[in-house]
Structure 1
């Protein structure tokens, strides 16, 4: 069991959740305030997406990321900023009779263009989605090819940003380990084991254990699952030696019928970890544990 646990709060994501829970932050001000709320509750890391304030949909606009970061830096909050670099991989296949007539919702750019805001802002951590996957039951495919990933990983390493490798299925992990062999990743690369997202890895504890067993020795990793599985996965992750992720990106409810805030979800995670006899790390301790820029 991990006795020194880092809590990441996934603040908002890019899914169609804003109309399902009014606590999902949309504007840069709301996102920054929600990250501060999570930090006050005990989160060391804030994993952040931005959204178009008018449409409420996920966005890649650099100025939105910049405003969130500026607001956090201007506060007394020392939370570790983890920016997604996963936007720009959405390919909506056209209808059966013309699948190459891609739907207008498609937002597909190359691996380096997905890093424009990372180059501009150089957060301490950014994500890299380590493979393509069917998303949901319609024609949405998230596209992240080996060529895109190799280019993205190499550029993130050049920038000196710690990479969090998003693992949606076992093949994603296989390829992440291949990138390690090829020297494309720094030795403090983090692993995020993502389960319960249709149709990636299912929320199965035996599968989680299998993926953990594939990780290099002394890796820093976290696992999460969606919805009502969020807290069980937090417990299982800590028990297997990992860290914890909670937040409105993955789960909208505190309990059945009760909508959550990010602060409430982090409080639940803190209580769980401490009741298991472990300790929740501060942002300063998390930076040292993860060997983030300036602490290595």
Structure 2
């Protein structure tokens, strides 16, 4: 049991929703960049990759094709067994179905489940309506995806 006290689970959130290349020129934006950075983080000891995708201009996206390409590129690293966690948020203003669809089609091991609406950095409100949370919860159960419960 004392061995467990020293164990850690490291999650690498490669892009997130808010950072820009102006803030960090090393920010991964393309599926290829994200996958490469996930692989490097896995080699450095990360156990989970929290995946967001970006449009070509760097803005947050829920584009299924971007998620698909990113996940395929990560899974192409045959020696990499990192746990994939696709965000269920993406950013402010995305619809319920576009937030859930990539999860149900790509079947990551985990998906974020933000436990409520929150005020974000004095900039905006990020809404997670109870109606959405119920839909998301049911989709995760039906797809056998474990929730990463995020409480801000």
> Shared topology, TM-score over 0.5?
yes
1:155 is aligned to 139
Large movers: runs of 4+ above 4 Å: none
CA shift, 1:150, in A, is 1.4
Are the equivalent residues in 2 in contact too, given 1:16–1:57 (CA < 8 A)? no
CA separation in 2, counterparts of 1:58 and 1:49?
A: 8
Pick the aligned partner of 1:125 from 92, 96, 110: 110
Pick the aligned partner of 1:20 from 14, 18, 23: 23
- Count residues in correspondence: 148
Q: Please list, as runs of the form range in 1=range in 2, the aligned pairs for 1:1-296 lying within 5 A after superposition.
A: 2-53=5-56, 55-76=57-78, 77-87=80-90, 90=92, 107-110=93-96, 112-138=97-123, 140-168=124-152
CA shift, 1:132, in A, is 0.7
- Alignment root-mean-square deviation, CA: 1.5
Are the equivalent residues in 1 in contact too, given 2:83–2:109 (CA < 8 A)? yes
Are the equivalent residues in 1 in contact too, given 2:53–2:90 (CA < 8 A)? no
Report SS of the residue matched to 2:11. strand
Structure with greater Cα Rg? 1
CA separation in 2, counterparts of 1:45 and 1:161?
A: 14
Gaps (5+ residues) in structure 1?
91-106, 169-296
CA shift, 1:67, in A, is 0.6
Report SS of the residue matched to 1:5. coil
CA separation in 2, counterparts of 1:82 and 1:136?
A: 23
Are the equivalent residues in 1 in contact too, given 2:62–2:94 (CA < 8 A)? no
CA shift, 1:14, in A, is 1.3
Report SS of the residue matched to 2:16. coil
Gaps (5+ residues) in structure 2?
none
CA separation in 2, counterparts of 1:16 and 1:42?
A: 23
TM-score normalised over the length of structure 1: 0.48
CA shift, 1:142, in A, is 0.5
Are the equivalent residues in 2 in contact too, given 1:129–1:166 (CA < 8 A)? yes
Highest RCO, 1 vs 2 (Cα 8 Å, sep ≥ 6): 1
